Amino acid sequence: MNRTLRIPALALAILGCAPFGAAHAQNDKGKAIYDKVCVACHSAGIAGAPKLGDAKAWEPRIKAGIDALYESALKGKAPAMPAKGGATDVPDADIKAAVDYMVAAAKDGAPAAAATAPAGPAAQAAPATPTAPRPAALSFNRLLKPASKRNPPPPEDGIHDPDNDGTHALQPPLQVFESLPRSNAGNRVDWVKALDNNLIGPRWDRTDPAAAPVVMDLNIVREVKGSMPDVVYPHKQHTAWLDCSNCHPQIFIPQKGANQISMAAILLGQKCGVCHGKVAFPVSECRICHSKKKNVMPVKNAQAN
């Protein structure tokens, strides 16, 4: 099967769809405005203007939220940032696009070199400073999310509105996770261990802190063709969190082998994927599910087929 050929096709298809296309057009516009208007000050850092691609200078400003930045760019900011950079005839949307472009540059450092170099003659700009971060094209990890972006506090997570006072009252995940056993994916917390070791005490009943689940210790082994180890489905860890009715009969008929399960279904959010890859540990952790070695004596507490 041409498995390897499908993946690039998929990636291309995703790239081609509207939201991404729009984002690109938006950024091109932003760059054009930047190169025409903003570059005069923001390239060399005239009068203390934060330089393009200078993550340090932009970080505290970005924290104030994109809307605050739009506001400054449109209305100006004392002492030296003029409204719309002085180009009052440029439409608001284009100024915002320029801000987006500058914010994106600060976040990934990429366009810093690219933008300052060709703009050379138009601006009294100095070339990229030695402190400028390396272009993203040369970064070590291109796709892997850096550790610094994991478990962000709500105001920085991209979905909470930093302009909302309530957002700043919410608890940052890391404040709690630091005291819990870590894992490699998802919340990066090993929730099974956290519960087993009594580090957390989630209630089984809304009001009664003493109510406890009836944990059922029954493993179901699902044989897997090919090289992947067989899957051991443990009722124990599930019934510690869930009710039988959460799975039976809606997701799984309670009868060994009666359910057709495949990785494709799981990736699409069905079967085990109803929870794994959404709330419980994600699909990337193959060996937590595919845990039974083949061609060896059956695991002691696993039920053989």
Q: Which residues in the 103-162 window bind other proteins by CB under 8 A? A: 107-108, 110, 136-137, 142-143, 145, 149-152, 154, 157-161
Q: Does 3 bind other proteins (CB under 8 A)?
A: yes
Decide: is 226 part of the binding site for ligand HEC (CB under 6 A). yes
User: Are 112 and 133 a contacting pair, CB within 8 Å?
Assistant: yes
Given candidates 27, 29, 32, 61, which one binds ligand HEC under the rule CB under 6 A?
Answer: 61
Per CB under 8 A, the list member of 213, 249, 254, 298 interacting with other proteins is: 213
What DSSP state is assigned to residue 35? I
CB atoms within 10 A of CB 235: 16
Least gap, CB of 54 to ligand HEC (angstroms): 12
Q: Rule CB under 6 A: is residue 122 a binding residue for ligand HEC?
A: no
Applying CB under 6 A, does 264 fall inside the site for ligand HEC?
Answer: yes
Vertex 132 angle, CA 126 and 135, to 5°: 110
Residues 21-60 touching ligand HEC, rule: CB under 6 A, are 33, 37-38, 40-42, 46-50
C-beta closer to ligand HEC: residue 40 or 114: 40
Our CB check for other proteins shows the closer of 275 and 302 to be: 275
3-class state of residue 202 by DSSP? coil
Q: What H or E segment, with its residue span, contains residue 233?
A: strand 231-234
Q: Which is nearer to ligand HEC, 275 or 299 (CB)?
A: 275
Residue (of 243, 238, 223, 235) closest to 290 by Cα position: 223
* 104 and 31 Cβ atoms separated by less than 8 Å: no
**Token reading at 36:** 């025409």
Contacts to other proteins from residues 219-258, by CB under 8 A: 222-223, 225, 240-243, 245-246, 256-257
**By three-state DSSP, how is residue 231 classified?**
strand
